[in-house]
Structure 1
């Protein structure tokens, strides 16, 4: 639980670190942000960011660059996408430096570094160090950026009525995460405060870019280790896009890529972006064998361990093949000759 405490000065009481009634209320208010009608238009942002990354790779390889740090490039791509989806802001961070993006990357690395230095767990010691001062400066920069966006968006809302605002957003298909947070109201008509909105926006910028970049990097790594799977994924995408102009993936295409979907899921099993989570028991938990985990106990759950349990996954370190597909998986129902293995029972 200590790690979450390191995030609080940056993320406030966002979903990642809040608890109890506040977490429940915010989770309910944020649900509309994940509605398909809001997520679908984001595909153009994802395509644009990926195309920029691909173009940069082509330039670098043409100039003779033989080795690329996938995580570095993909992290910039996910940050680029998120700034568009959260703030409707085009940072161009993949092509030129961005103070805001650099601050987020610095905050992420500083938190991980502090986690490995137990003698700096105490705040009064940490903020006396050079790293602590850098952390405060980066926090201020990120908060100032988010606050400025919120103020500007509130001014826009106050200058026109709600129907006009929604109509203009619907027409341009640019209802972003900040808009959803600004418009959110609970059953009593109470809105989120500016501080709450900043916390949730900063939380999604942190949690969204890092985990997604890690997952994508491992997926590319696993496909590179299995060129036969990589080729099949390529053929599946090329067949889907055959004769289409422009050749870009659309929302409805995502359900038509069963083999690629299975490879993504298996890579997430092998290399989950978040390997461990911790929770504090709010009440006594009775286990099946009768033992009790007392209220107030901090429990650490190893997602990596669950995903590599040999009693569930035979040869847990290997990228698996099988002919079984779950009924509710993406890509429709029915058998596929290269689907992922059915776990052992």
Structure 2
């Protein structure tokens, strides 16, 4: 009698392997099922928009995401769960009391998208956690004291004037249309390189011809590509891809540049000390502050820590500030009456604008209100996220367990009609002293709040004021009706097609 194939010696290993793989698949399916049931149980008290069993809310929010988000904020008070597929959910909040409870804690940041940035910036304030983060924050805070920042205003004026000279040369007639974000991004990078290293790169003139500048911009594009290419979330797949190879080469350029500047500065300081040379530069740059912190804490602040903080300062600083300035100009272009009122205020303070001193910045009250209203209407950082390290209970009694990914939607908070009347309208008077005093302190959070608020918010505000003041003295800006910006919610809120403005030289 012929034996069955299962009894054949050659077939048994394949049969066992099949059974093993089937058991693994079933085990994984059970784990995913239990995960979904747990999420459904944890989120049952929070209503959500209709969800597809496979895609979750991805298709619903894919197009015009910010407008759809505004609809959900109006429909669902305080918060709603957003499903990404059947087994993953993010809990979105946009209520001031919820935000206050959330930001008062020290939960770790969500891995997505910070882990894509870590190879570039290392472990700095942006992605450190726990005692190490507190130590770095304590050591670096003196570098953002107003007395340190005051001399930076002169540096910023020089960089902004370089950009304005470029714009004047572009005006073949009395006016021209310019994609301003590209120019402003180079300008803010120029400022931060000077403030970080006292380094002249001429990046505004040479564009991305400089290897370091080219690396900074290309790395940003690759990180954005990787964020939205789910296959490349896996490190091994990404590393073997063409984009991964390019990323590694650019990252090497970035780190070699920073390391060389740090080593050259250390050698220069040693030579000055040997020669008893007490001559100082015009201002202390960020590298001076970090080196001073390292000298006082050699055992706990290594060269790796130092390089991480310098890279974090530059890479996380220039893009966000460039976004804030560009969207501010766009808001003023759409609202010429507020633009003109800012211009008149700036003329009264600066005259022809040939010099800006620190005291001038504090006098720009209406311009500051316009800056804040632009940051409310189009916040450069649209959201921040944390993974709960322990359960959280909100003021209304609703709770979430540890492990939940919570997203504070700054966009949703700033467009919440329960807080802001007519939230789509550009109204700087929302930030008059009498109106601001009556508002919840966690209703306006362009720089976050709590223990992990943005350490660089003062330097960002200085750049915003200096830049808008000098631009409005020299140019009138109007929108290009043929190319309105299309919002793209990346790490920094950008426009898919750029920000095109018509510039007209003011005689």
TM superposition score normalised by structure 2: 0.61
Using a 3 Å threshold, how does the CA distance of structure 1 residues 183 and 341 change in structure 2: closer, same or farther? closer
Q: Give the structure 1 partner of residue 137 of structure 2.
A: 27
Q: Give the structure 2 partner of residue 293 of structure 1.
A: 400
- Name which structure has the greater RCO, CA cutoff 8 Å, separation 6+: 2
Q: Give the structure 1 partner of residue 312 of structure 2.
A: 203
Using a 3 Å threshold, how does the CA distance of structure 1 residues 321 and 74 change in structure 2: closer, same or farther? closer
Deviation at 1:160, TM superposition (A): 3.7
Alignment of 1:1-345 (within 5 A): 1-62=111-172, 66-96=176-206, 97-161=209-273, 167-169=278-280, 172-185=281-294, 190=299, 192-242=301-351, 247-322=354-429, 325-326=432-433, 343=439
Deviation at 1:342, TM superposition (A): 6.0
Pairwise CA RMSD: 2.4
Deviation at 1:343, TM superposition (A): 4.8
Aligned equivalents of 1:257, 1:201: Cα separation in 2:
31
Using a 3 Å threshold, how does the CA distance of structure 1 residues 192 and 293 change in structure 2: closer, same or farther? same
Q: Is the Cα contact below 8 Å between 1:237 and 1:257 reproduced in 2?
A: yes
1:97-131 deviations in Å (ceiling 9; x for gaps)? 32111110111111111111111100100111111
Aligned equivalents of 1:299, 1:50: Cα separation in 2:
38
Q: Is the Cα contact below 8 Å between 1:104 and 1:206 reproduced in 2?
A: yes
1:20-51 deviations in Å (ceiling 9; x for gaps)? 11111101110011011211111111000000
Aligned equivalents of 2:151, 2:118: Cα separation in 1:
31
Deviation at 1:158, TM superposition (A): 2.5
Q: Is the Cα contact below 8 Å between 1:285 and 1:295 reproduced in 2?
A: yes
Larger Rg: 2
Deviation at 1:63, TM superposition (A): 6.8
Deviation at 1:188, TM superposition (A): 6.2
Using a 3 Å threshold, how does the CA distance of structure 1 residues 279 and 162 change in structure 2: closer, same or farther? farther
Query: What are the ranges of 5 or more consecutive residues in structure 1 without an aligned counterpart?
Result: 327-334
Q: Is the Cα contact below 8 Å between 1:322 and 1:342 reproduced in 2?
A: no
Q: Is the Cα contact below 8 Å between 1:283 and 1:296 reproduced in 2?
A: yes
TM superposition score normalised by structure 1: 0.89
Aligned equivalents of 2:238, 2:438: Cα separation in 1:
48
Q: Is the Cα contact below 8 Å between 1:150 and 1:194 reproduced in 2?
A: no
Using a 3 Å threshold, how does the CA distance of structure 1 residues 168 and 38 change in structure 2: closer, same or farther? farther
